[in-house]
Amino acid sequence: MRRLLIMLAGVTFAAATLAQPPEEATEPTLQRWQTLDQPQSLAPVAPARVELMVRATPPPPQRALEIGLVVLDPGTGGDSLSNRQQGVFEDVRSAESRYLPFALRRALVDSNQWGAVRVLPGSDPGYELLVSGRILVSNGAELSLALTVRDSLDTVWLEKTYSMVAGENAYLEAERRLRRPFQDLYHEFANDLYQLKRERSDAELQRIREVSELRYAADLLPDAFRSYLGRDESGLISVQRLPARDDPMIGRIRRVRAQEYLFIDTTDEQYAELYTEMTPVYDLWRQYLREQLAYRESWEARLAERDTPRRGSYEAMKQTYNNYKWEKIQREEMRTLAEGFDNEVAPTAMELEGTVVQLSGSLDQRYREWRDLLRQIYQLETGP
Amino acid sequence: MSRPILAALLAVLVSACASEPEAPAAPEQKLVLPTPLMKDFSGHWEMDYGRSDNVDRKLRSLYREMQRNAQRVARGDQRSRIMSPELVNASFGKVVDMARMADMITDSQVLDIEQSADDIEIRRENNFTLTCVFNDGQPELVIDELGSEICGWDAQQLLFRIALPDGLDILHRVSMSEDRQRLHVATTVNRRGASPFTLNRFYFRFDPLPEDYECEYTLSRGNVCQTGGL
């Protein structure tokens, strides 16, 4: 088996190397193949694994777009009752909506194909690349995310639903050490995004960066920068003219933005902390969910095989009642697990929530002060 | 479902229960419940076997009553075949099935009830929890794949109705004595083509041993307990 794994690792290595563009030297992630002393029965030899395309060195500055991942829509649009009936627990989803962007962020950072990748508490349309999305399914056995990626020009790079079914051993500790549950989904997304970047020239990426900066500036000082941007006939943002390279206002805008990034990086650390603390509990939660689903399937199969008792008989009524009773007990069990999950995760999440709110407030305040200051400078420079 | 329809549904349920041939409880067992409308059922309750219905005794009594009815009908109309002994036995067979169902559904010896101004949870040993959200007095209807539930207040009594496939219908009527020491759960099992059967279960309040620690369930560590509250 060990030899087979090494052979597979070799094939994987070759396939991953061939998949890379010649101008961007890459190497595949080999960490999971280096841990080979697993029991044979647990050895992961799944054929459809998605290897992350990884650059050996950081990308050149002109291709290092910055990415913002907005906290996901938890997908709990229905009322509490219908969510409960569908096995969707709002508190768990709320935690997942912050956890999953960080999982995607990790894949993007690990790929070494991008500039800074940040998880954002809210949307920022001026970002060079902005990832937003919604959790469609998350039940331990399956994860399905509807993701959209837009650049600062408002061009949609990607609008796709990513779905994956967890393997039978996905939650075994030995397997988790090799590969996080649903890691292939995160890899697939990161690889797709990388492929889309490959299709764009340096000049196109440069335009995205310019527009991003101008959108940020126009948001901060609309009077000064609105005229630099327009919309073309297809509704996309276009640059009407560019400020001078030594424009002092642009220099100030960049300093403000750097301040903003400092704040966002601090909130990002909080998301990282949430990710680390939540991971073991979240794995357990998803494992329980998966086991419950598997048990339910086998129970339904057994039920289908059973002889149907005479209608109206005691046996028939008992079966009808027990089906209902089993369903209700299952839901109660799920709710207990969800409460256990919340009891462990909630303090961190609340702390995170508190910090984010505090930081956002502070950020807004700084923004306002900076904007006032910049407007004053602007008025002084241009005259009344 | 609109409020008038729900109210009508509950009214039908109440009248259906009231028109049953069986008395829900012996006169001395009848609970006198005061106003106000909503009662607080919170607490731990243990089955009182002495006061609760004995299914076998109740069935024997029912069988004798059915036989007497059949004899009366036969005396009044010799041509009638409606209540022949065979039909009495067949009809009684259905009653026995309903009684067994009622017995099975209500075999929880212990009930733990948590109630707030907004909702109630009746945790039943070896059975699923009955829950009801009060919705400002408006009955709550929950429709599932395998059945539907409606619950709400009927004066001082709390009603849970569960409608299951094949016309199986279960009604729990929960009430409490004036001194708040006894709980009465009257469960009626009904099915199209069969006579309804009501089983009365009585519970007395008990206080579990006081605990000097509080526990909180966590996913990775199970119950985490500590003294002096969490």
Average pLDDT by stretches of 10, chain A with 384 residues: 36 36 38 28 48 92 94 82 71 85 94 92 84 92 94 96 85 74 93 96 94 88 86 88 84 78 74 80 80 77 75 86 85 77 66 52 53 60 55
| DSSP secondary structure string for all residues of A217-228 | HHHH-HHHHGGG
Is A320 in Cβ contact with B164 (below 8 Å)? yes
Q: Are A237 and A211 in contact (CB under 8 A)?
A: yes
Percent of chain B whose pLDDT exceeds 70 = 77
Task: Mutation target for A interface from B59, B219, B220, B224: give the one with most A CBs within 10 A.
Answer: B219
Mutual orientation of helices B85-105 and B55-76 as an angle, nearest 10°? 160
Nearest to A68 by CA among A115, A136, A107, A134: A115
Q: Which of B94, B144, B168 has the CB atom closest to A327's CB atom?
A: B144
Say how far apart CA A373 and CA A379 lie, in whole Å: 10
Please report, as a single letter, which amino acid is at residue B73: V
Residue-level pLDDT at B21: 36
How far apart are the CA of B34 and the nearest CA of chain A, in angstroms? 32
**Taking CB atoms and an 8 Å cut-off, how many pairs form between chains A and B?**
72
User: Could you tell me if residue A350 is left (phi over 0), alpha (psi between -120 and 50 degrees) or otherwise beta?
Assistant: alpha
Tell me how close the Cα of A166 comes to any Cα of chain B, in angstroms: 20
Pairing of strands B194-206, B182-191: antiparallel
Q: What chain A residue is nearest to B217 in terms of C-alpha separation?
A: A340
The listed range with the strongest mean pLDDT (A216-220, B10-14, B202-206) is B202-206
Residues 6+ apart with CB under 8 A from A308: A316
Determine the pLDDT at residue A235.
86
Beta-carbon separation of A321 and B168 below 8 A: yes
Quick check: A171 and A286 in contact, CB under 8 A? yes
- Band of residue B19 on the pLDDT scale cut at 50, 70, 90: very low
Query: Among partner residues A81, A288, A320, which is closest to B168 by beta-carbon distance?
Result: A320
The answer to whether residue B82 neighbours chain A at the CB level (below 8 Å) is: no
Do residues A150 and A157 make contact, with C-beta atoms less than 8 angstroms apart?
yes
On average, the pLDDT of chain B sits at 78
Window 163-202 of B: residues touching A by CB (8 A cutoff) are: 164-166, 168, 170, 191, 193-194
Q: Has residue B25 got a pLDDT over 50?
A: no
| pLDDT over 50 at B33, yes or no | no
- List, in order, residues 6 or more apart from B90 with CB less than 8 Å away: none
- Residue A24, amino acid: E
Chain A contact set for B144 (CB, 8 A): 85, 324, 327
Q: Which among B96, B147, B193 is the nearest to A324, CB-wise?
A: B147
Quick check: A314 and B101 CB within 8 A? yes
Rounded Cα distance, B8 and B3, in Å: 8
On chain A, the residues whose CB falls within 8 A of the CB of B165 are: 320
- Residue B119 near chain A (CB below 8 Å): no
> Would an 8 Å CB–CB cutoff place B55 in contact with chain A?
no
Contact state of A321 with B164 under an 8 Å Cβ cutoff = yes
Enumerate the residues of chain A whose CB falls inside 8 A of the CB of residue B141. Answer: none
Q: Which amino acid is at B114?
A: E
Which of A320, A330, A345 is the best residue to mutate to test the B interface, defined by the most B CB atoms within 10 Å of its own CB? A320
- State whether ipTM is beyond 0.90: no
Token duo for residue B18: 């009231």
Q: What is the pLDDT of residue A131?
A: 97
User: B223: distance to nearest CA of chain A, Å?
Assistant: 9
Residues 17-36 of chain A with CB under 8 A from chain B are none
Residue of B nearest to A331 (CA): B128
Angle between helices A202-220 and A248-305 (to 10 degrees): 110
Residues of B in contact with A343 (CB under 8 A): 216-219
The beta strands (E) that lie in A217-335 are given as: 229-231, 237-239
- Contact state of B219 with A321 under an 8 Å Cβ cutoff: no
pLDDT in tens, B70-95: 777 777 665 555 566 777 777 788 88
The residues near A6 (Cβ < 8 Å, ≥ 6 apart) are A33, A36
The whole-number pLDDT of residue B81 equals: 52
Contact call for A325 and B100, based on CB within 8 A: no
* Residue A310 contacts B where some CB pair is shorter than 8 Å: no
DSSP B155: T
- Check A321 against B105: CB less than 8 A apart: yes
How far apart are the CA of A305 and the nearest CA of chain B, in angstroms? 18
Q: Is the Cβ–Cβ distance between B170 and B161 less than 8 Å?
A: yes
